Structure 1
Amino acid sequence: MLLPLKKQRLTTGGRGPVMAASIESLLSEISSVEDPTEELQSLKTALYSVPVGTLRDSVSGQRLGVIFSLLNSNSREQVELCVDILERILVALSPVVLVQNYRAELQGGIKHNNDAVKILALTQIGRIVEHPDAVTEILDNTELLCTVIHSIGEEKISVAKQAIQSLSKLSHSKAGLDKLFQSEMLKTLKEVMAVSDVVRYRIYELVVEISSISPISFGYCANSGLISQLLDELTGDDVLIRVTAVEMVTHLAQSLHGRQFLTNQGIMNQISNMIRGAETDPFSSLYLPGLVKFFGNVAIMDSPQQICETYPEFQNKVFEMALDSDPAVIGVALDTLGLLGSTVEGKQVFQKTGEKFKAVLVRMSHLASTEATELRVRSLEAISQLLTLQPEQQTEDLLALTESWFQLLSKQPVDMIHKISTQPFPELHCCALRIFTAIASQPWGQRLMMSTPGFMEFVLDRSTSQTKDAKDAKFELVGALVSSSSATEILGSQNCLRLKTYLREGPYYVTAVAVVGTEGAN
C-alpha cells in the first residue's frame, strides 16, 4: 500500500518513480471521493513541488480524464484547482501526446462556462498548432477550429486574445493559411465578424497579425477581402470606428510588404488627405493623433525625408499640433518630433524648415518648464532625442545644429535643465539627466558644462539621485562624459580621473561611514 502523499515526499526525496506513484495514487483517490477538494489540493502541491522536466516522466503515462471530468462542477474552487493542475501537467506533455489523447477534452474546454478553462484549452491548442507533427490533427478537425474562431466573439477579452494568438500561430504554415482562408473557415470568420463592432475589430486584429508574418501570409489576407474591408473603415461615418481603423492600419504598416500594399492602394495619399481635411471636421481631434502616429511610424521605418517631402501635410500638422493648446494633441506631436528627431535624417528635415521648427523648439522648452508633469516629461524626452548624436554622427554641421537647438531652449539652457533636475519629481530628474547625457559626448556640450559653476560637482554628487532610475541615469551621464574623445582636453585630467572613479565604483556605490563607539554606551 502506498504511503500518504506527504509522508512519501518526505521519505523519497522526490525520486521520479515514487513521485509518479504518488500522483497515480492521488488520481485514484480523487475519482473515488464525493468532495475531492482536499485531494485536488494535495495533487496540486505534489505537481508544483517538482520541476516540469521531472514531472514529464511522472505523468507521461497518466490518464487525466478524471481531472477533466471534475471541471464540470458548480464549485468554483474545484474548477480552479483542476485548471491549476491541468496547466501544470499539460505543459509537461508533448503537443503530439496532448492532441492524440485529449483533443475532445480540449474542445469541450473551449465551450466551458468558466473563462479560465477556456483560456487553458485555447493555450494548449496554441501549443499543438505550433508543432509540425501535431498540427495535422487540428487541421483535420473543422469543428474544433470553428469553435476556436467563435471564441474570438467571447465577452471576456482575455479569452478572445488567446483564440487570436492560437489562430495566428496556425497561420505560420501554408497548410494553416489554406485552412483559414481557402475553406469554409473564411465563411466562419466573416460570420463571427457580424456579431458586433468590437468583435469585427478583433478579427481585423487577427488578420493584421497574420499579415505581418510574411508576404505570403499577407497575400492570403489580401485575397480574402478582409484587408480591403478594413481599409474601407477608414472613411466610415462612425468616428470611433475610424479611430480604431487608423490604429489597425498603423499595425499593418509595420511590415515592408504592408507599407508597399498601402502605397499601391493609394491609402497613404488617402490618410494624407484626411490630415488635410481635419481642419474642417469638428471630430478630427479623435482620429487626428492616430493619423499622425501612422505617418510617424512609417517615416521612422522608411525615410523621414521621403515621407515629409512626399506628404508635407504630415510635417505641417505635427508642427501645428505642437503649438496647440490641447494636451492630448500636444503629447502626440512631442512623441512624433522625438521619434523623427532621433535620426540624423529627421534632424536635417527639421532644420530645413528654418523658423518654423525654431518656434516649435521654443514651445517645447516652455512646455518642459511650465506644464503638467506628463507633458513636461514628454517634452524633455523629445528634446533629448533631438539633441542626441552618436560619435560617428558628430560632423561639423550636425554639431553646429544641435548646439544651436540647445541654445534656443533658454538664455541659460544648462541652468534651466539643471533647475528642472532639482525639482521633487523623479521622472523629471531622470529626463533632465538624459538631456545632459545627450550633449555630454559633444565637445560644445562639454564646454558649456565646464563653464557652468558647480556643474561637475553636481555630476559627481551621488546624493542628488535617490531612486534606482535616477542613479542609472546619472551613471549613463558619467559614462557619456568619460567615453568622449574630447573629454581629457575639455574636462581636464583631474575631472576625468574623478569621473572614471565614479564609473569604477558603479551606479549604486555608497560611501562607508565610520561609527566611533563611546565607552559605556548601550
Structure 2
Amino acid sequence: MGVSDVVRYRVYELVVEIASASPESLGFCASSTILPQLLEELSAEDVLLRVTSIEMVTALAGSPHGRQYLAQQGVIDRISNLLVGADSDPLSGLYLPGLVKFFGNLAILDSPQQICERYPAFLQKVLHMAEGHETTMVGVGVDTLGVLGSNIEGKQVLQKTGSRFHNVLQRLGEHARSAPTDLRVRCLDAMASIMFLPPDQHTDDLLAMAESWFRSLCSRPLEMLRSIASQPFPELHCAALKVFTAIANQPWAQRMMVDSPGFVEYIVDRSVDPDKDSKDAKFELVKALINAKSTAQVFGNQHYLSLRAYHREGPYYVRAVSTVAVEGAE
C-alpha cells in the first residue's frame, strides 16, 4: 500500500469486495485496520482521493452488513456533513455527485422516507441540482430523482416537498425540450420512473398526484413528448415512448391521449418508427394499453380494436401491397 496512491486504492478495492461477501469477512477486514484506514480517507485533503474513497464506501454500502457497519462507525453521518459543507467548498463539484449517489443507493436499498427524513440535506441537494443549469449536476440530480421516484414510498417523499417538486418538474420539462441530447434522455427516463404507478397501486390520491406531476412538466405535456418522439434521434424517440408507456395504464392519461387529435392514430402508425428499438418501444406502449383495465372503456370500441390488431400483428408487421401487372409494361 506504500508503493503509490494507485496501489493503495487497488488494495482498498479488494478489501471492500472481500468485506461485502459476508459479515464474517467484514469483521476480518475491519480488524485488519485496512477498512478503518479507508474510512479515514473520506477526509483526505486531496479531492480526487476523496472522490475515490466515496466510491469505495458506496460499494461497501451495497450489502446489508456493510450498511450496518458504516452506520455504527458514524460514516453515514460524516458523509451527510460533507454534503452539508459542500456549499462552502469550491471543489465540491468533484465529489458532490458521489455523495448524492451514496445516499441515493441508501434510499433505494433501505427506505426513501427514513433516509430523506434523517438526512434532509440529501433531498434538498438533489432538488437544487435538478433545478440548476450546470449540465453534470443536473444529470446527477435527475438520475437520483428517477431512483427515488421508482417506488411508491419514494414518490410520497417527493410529494411531501409540495410546490418545490412541481417547480423541479417544470425544469425537467425544460431540460427535456432544450438540453443536450444525453441529458434530455436522462430527463425522459426520470419522468418515466417518477410517473409510473403499478396497477395494484391505483388509488385516487396516487392517480391525482401522477396527473398533477405530469401537467407540471409544461402547458401541453402530451404534445411536448409527442414532438420529441417525432424527432429523428432513436434515443429520444424511444425515451419519449417510454414516458407514454409509464402512464399508459392510468385512466387520466388515456383520456388525455384520446382527446389529443391524431394521437391514437400515431400510436398504431408503424411508419413513424424507423428502427427496431423504436418499433419495440412502440409495441411496449401498445402492450401497456392493452393490459390496462380501463382502455376499452376510455378508448372506445374502434380504437381499442385497432390497438388489439396492432398487438396481435406484432412490432414488425408489414402490410402486403398487391400490384397489378399491365400488359406491355417493362
In the TM superposition, what whole-angstrom CA distance separates every residue of 1:211-238 from its partner, at most 9, and x where no partner exists?
A: 1211111112112111111111110010
Match of 1:428 in 2: 236
**Quick check: 1:198 aligned with 2:6?**
yes
Aligned length: 330
Partner SS, residue 509 of structure 1: coil
Tell me how far apart the structure 2 counterparts of residues 454 and 423 of structure 1 sit (CA, whole Å). Answer: 17
Match of 1:394 in 2: 202
Match of 1:468 in 2: 276
Could you state the TM-score of these two structures normalised by the residue count of structure 1?
0.62
**One-letter amino acid of the structure 2 residue matched with residue 490 of structure 1:** V
**One-letter amino acid of the structure 1 residue matched with residue 75 of structure 2:** I
Match of 1:288 in 2: 96
Tell me how far apart the structure 2 counterparts of residues 266 and 239 of structure 1 sit (CA, whole Å). Answer: 21
Tell me how far apart the structure 2 counterparts of residues 511 and 366 of structure 1 sit (CA, whole Å). Answer: 39
Could you state the TM-score of these two structures normalised by the residue count of structure 2?
0.98
Tell me how far apart the structure 2 counterparts of residues 287 and 198 of structure 1 sit (CA, whole Å). Answer: 18
Tell me how far apart the structure 1 counterparts of residues 312 and 10 of structure 2 sit (CA, whole Å). Answer: 51
**Quick check: 1:213 aligned with 2:28?**
no
**One-letter amino acid of the structure 1 residue matched with residue 314 of structure 2:** G
Unaligned 5+ segments in structure 1 are: 1-192
**Quick check: 1:342 aligned with 2:150?**
yes
Taking CA–CA contacts closer than 8 Å with sequence separation of 6 or more, which of the two structures ends up with the larger relative contact order? 2
Residue of 179, 195, 213 corresponding to 1:405:
213
Residue of 33, 57, 64 corresponding to 1:249:
57
What is the Cα deviation at residue 452 of structure 1? 0.6
Match of 2:129 in 1: 321
Alpha carbons 2:167, 2:216 under 8 Å: kept:
no
Task: Please provide the CA RMSD for this pair.
Answer: 1.0
In the TM superposition, what whole-angstrom CA distance separates every residue of 1:26-59 from its partner, at most 9, and x where no partner exists?
A: xxxxxxxxxxxxxxxxxxxxxxxxxxxxxxxxxx
**One-letter amino acid of the structure 2 residue matched with residue 441 of structure 1:** N
Match of 1:516 in 2: 324
Partner SS, residue 492 of structure 1: helix
What is the Cα deviation at residue 394 of structure 1? 1.1
Tell me how far apart the structure 2 counterparts of residues 452 and 458 of structure 1 sit (CA, whole Å). Answer: 10
Tell me how far apart the structure 2 counterparts of residues 492 and 481 of structure 1 sit (CA, whole Å). Answer: 13
**One-letter amino acid of the structure 2 residue matched with residue 514 of structure 1:** S
**Quick check: 1:307 aligned with 2:115?**
yes
Tell me how far apart the structure 2 counterparts of residues 216 and 493 of structure 1 sit (CA, whole Å). Answer: 62
Match of 2:165 in 1: 357
Residue of 497, 505, 508 corresponding to 2:313:
505
Tell me how far apart the structure 2 counterparts of residues 405 and 317 of structure 1 sit (CA, whole Å). Answer: 20
Match of 1:260 in 2: 68
Partner SS, residue 270 of structure 1: helix
1:467-506, aligned counterparts within 5 Å? Answer: 467-506=275-314
Match of 1:170 in 2: none
In the TM superposition, what whole-angstrom CA distance separates every residue of 1:276-306 from its partner, at most 9, and x where no partner exists?
A: 0001111000000000000001100000000
Indicate the percent of aligned positions where both proteins have the same amino acid: 58
What is the Cα deviation at residue 520 of structure 1? 4.2
**One-letter amino acid of the structure 2 residue matched with residue 289 of structure 1:** P
In the TM superposition, what whole-angstrom CA distance separates every residue of 1:369-423 from its partner, at most 9, and x where no partner exists?
A: 1111111111111111110011011111100000000111121111111111111
What is the Cα deviation at residue 521 of structure 1? 4.5
**Quick check: 1:239 aligned with 2:239?**
no
Which entry has the higher C-alpha Rg, 1 or 2? 1
**One-letter amino acid of the structure 2 residue matched with residue 351 of structure 1:** Q
Alpha carbons 2:112, 2:154 under 8 Å: kept:
yes
Alpha carbons 2:245, 2:284 under 8 Å: kept:
yes
